[in-house]
Structure 1
């Protein structure tokens, strides 16, 4: 059986070649094949060479036989399904290998292997048990191969064995290589050569061992076997290598076909063009259909021919870097001359041996139009089409930078439509919208393209005019704006007379920043309205008038507080059934009201001068007196709300003063709501929390007024004794058409619901708003649509007449007991 040293040269080369061939492949079968060939190479080395270190020849023979058995096991286990785990593979290798090693050791020791039937039984039982495993092989052919390689078959074959006792192990490679031949032939393959060569090689290899086992008496057959002894193993090796090559070739062919289909049938235009001449080398069907050129026309053109003239110079500058091409949005031209926008993906490739570029284009015309539309909508007023505050801010900053550079003036005109609310109340909001659009058109007709006219409020417009040399030029322009409203606005069904008031501030004379001149312009507008409207007031002349006005308001406040001549009116707050559940006490000062000056004007001045503290206590006293009177005369018991300034909360003993006032009029603290603005709570939280907790412990409730106009007061809701939030009228006014305002109202409602807070919607003006708010939650409602602020006498009369209905007595409906609270009159 000894061959020549030729095996020791060719087999390592064969094994090395196979190792290189399968090195980058992930299939586990190929790795088992490499292990098998490595073991077989070691077995041949043990057979052909003598090793001095192995003095005992039986040790070298044992190693040769064991590596031979490992060779067959590695090849056999390689045919397990790819998804079989390493543990399961090792299990089958052990179940087949241990009995096989036992046979080889028995053969070496010249023992009778018929004594191994007990081991054969155990192996059969173990193999049967593996049929219950979840990851067991599903192939019946593999189970046939396992059975064929098992020890019981070895023992049966041994009954007809003709060789010497120490060569009975030769039944095992016979079994294993025959099983491998069956499994190799069963491998799926599109090409048949590798499968046939490999399977025939395994069967011939097994045949050589069958001759040694059963035909030792046939000298001619043994001689032939000896001569062809190396051929089967090389057939197996070549079959395996050919199998790998065939698999790679099939995969490459399939991949090439997939790439061809991907290129030719891709819905996006694709082409390849020469990197030197820029001429088209190949185009797909989508390019032909999308651009309108035939394939022949494409191949006679360059990539410059599908670009508009204005982009060709830019393209020539950027062709050297495909990454620049990828980053830009380009315009392409179809055969009919129409232009469309595309996004490009470009890469360097080699095509027909030439350096080329592969290009994929995507038509993004609709996407770009949508983006432009979204940007336009985000920066423009949907009603008038004018820029909004967002775009105005950007353009105003640019105008200021240009003015600094060129040493010019910039005029900021804040324009307000006079008495516009009357238009809405008289003719309705649809007509009001038409009026606003007509006003916007008139203003726009007098504005240069370099200037910016924006709608910045309901009836407020802002105009930025640059390049002004002096204030005289700004005054002339203001006069032009006023004159365009000398004639009424003519609508299809109405003719409406309007006028505007204008506040003007100049940069840099009235301020060095946009925010400063905006504030100055707003102040000037206020003065224009105070002086009778339909006029333009410049910041420089408006400031003095503002000082005079402030001094007049302060004097009136001091006199009213000193004489206790203030008036308190009561605006009802209604529940979802439109019953009055609370009234808000609002202060009025007759002399100021006669001049058109309301709380929004004199309250800030009262806070600045410190008059808000005595004024607030006076309002609380009047409100308590009136609520007590309504309880006594049978009008009813109702909760009442009083606005509180942060200056009042800062006063030492303010909580004691409130409780003393309530006690003086025998009013339970549970009837009183103190309203603080959201910005007050945010700014002065640490200073007011102690006083709020003291009052809340006595039963006084707190409300947050103008909720939603601050920046981050949500965290305070869980840290302060808040019972009610009042959604600011600026959000309610925009309902139901404004999605942003609706989202804010929904969010506030959800927060209040989770924190068990009441919600009051301020500024309700339409039935649509009421329906929407009640759908969101059981909101409480306050607004002119339901009731304007009423004097005490008006309130009593309307309740008595049944025009206004009070909710259930809050003291009777309150779940918690009221300690030391007086019993309300029957």
Structure 2
């Protein structure tokens, strides 16, 4: 039952019980009043006994003992009621004994509760006892003088002592209720019950009431008994207040108090002095037991405190030992070296990792100075750190050290002050070897500023260098170079060969530069050289002589490489990095347009060329789809008979009614990759044309078409040609692929394998522009070449340059000795024709016979020639 419910129900129960008794007293017939009250009182007393008896079973220890006393008191009261009702059955002495015994039990209950108040100090107890003693003494004197001795004869000694103890309990409970909230309900109920019973008993003895007044006093006593019995309902204590005390002590003490009260009532007189002496001795007896119990409590607490202190000290000592072991483990077995030294750097202690990293044993290191292993350049800085550590704040410093084996290392020393009693007495230095980390950082820094392939500065490092020169206002020359034919080398030999070539160029560049010149790679085959001078002609001549013109020997092959170079000057050609690079790029592309292996200095007019170039690049994207690309044919004739012996298929681009020369758009197509689609279109058109000629009346012995490097090394080329032969079943020997000498001259297995695959299809092969490149004639023997074409550059010089006549005659003689056919390109004059025929070359091609013409014009020309 909750406390709130008890506060509502218990008062109603007590008030109802009282008014029922009052009703019996007032309204019962006189003859039946005593019997009705006896029955009523017996019922309430029995109920109270049952309630207190059940409390005995619910509690243990001191609480059980208290409810045992209450139950004993209830039994005595029942015996008293029976004896009072049947006077003839019980002697008067027995009635007095039961009554006195009941008073004794009530007194023990009060005393026991008093002793349980552990918060009641002795000084407070003395004040309460003295006050109670004075009140009882004053009442005793008052009634004695007023009644002339009647008080002494009518008042029992037990009742007086009950009053004394009750007053003492009232004061004690009032104090306890003020400072202790737990158990207030139980204490109040017990207090009200005992005071009510004692007051009613004393009034009954003093006034000797009869009739209704006597019966009302008995009703009050019965209600008080009920209140005492149901007080346990308000007991909030879950365990004994003095759980360490033995109940046996209270039983002995209760017996002593009972014997004393009986003895004092029988041995001492009933005078005022005797009564006061008895009361004083009783209070002293109670006080003595309270002192004994409090001493026992203090002793128990002291023992508990000593035990707890001993446990705490033992635990603390164990914790200290454990922490010391933890510290030793942390210091001794830490993976990083740890040194302990004084403020002068003398080593006081070092762990195993520290002695191992220095190559000394611990005994050797102790007593040495940490400064001895630090490089001279870092000693002063570390000495300052040792001095500054006296402020108690950790500091970290990187120093260079030399170990026993002479190796140089870089240590990061985390210096932690060792503080004892508020003073810095030493220093812990935790060592972290950051040598590898610094090496890695330097590698990262190097990689961040250098090209991984060539070792030259990369784009970002060059940009920083150029922007630094611009910020300083220092004039300089920027040379932008792009390798000529590099894509063909990649396609012919593979990217690994291209990477090797770039590496060799990087080495040559580094060795060819002066101290005030910087070289870097932008990416691909683009290089930049920055020179802090204006001698660009000397710089270009030096780079071509040392870097670009000498051939490269790689994987058993001589590789010739050239470069187109664009030059800008700061601040003449731009004041920002962006403008300088853009203008250098324009100059470089202009050099490529001039025929490659050229050098161009930027001029504002190049911006117009750039716009035209941009338009060409955009136009190539849709040229085939728009039908702007067409096939032209240039006849090849026998100079002696003027008969057509073949033709060369050429590509023409007509855009917006204007023809764009192949020299302009073919390099752009090769650069942008459009040459792949254009080349396939040319091959397809050639197959289709030859098939149409064979199905018609045109018996064209040979049709030649140029095969670019990208097409030659296209992994799908052979499959594509096989498909075309299936679709257009022409005579393979009538198809002639012209290869550039640059491709053929590189004697690689890849070139040989592809040439053999083409020959296996029955296609004939010729070398275009023979003699214009740096080449080894060995490939003429190794490769199954069918035809050599004398380049236009040679033919045009025959009239003016005897050296070209000699070279041309040598080519013709060599071809005849090797069993190869010959075709001379660019024949325009009678002298050229006569000279070529005289040295043995009758197959010719040029404007002397016919210019390149559309298909319909070629057919008409062919028919007219045959007719």
Q: Pick the TM interval, shorter chain.
A: 0.3 to 0.5
- Structure with higher Rg: it is 2
**When the two structures are superposed, what TM-score results if normalisation uses the length of structure 1?**
0.46
User: TM-score, structure 2 length as denominator?
Assistant: 0.44
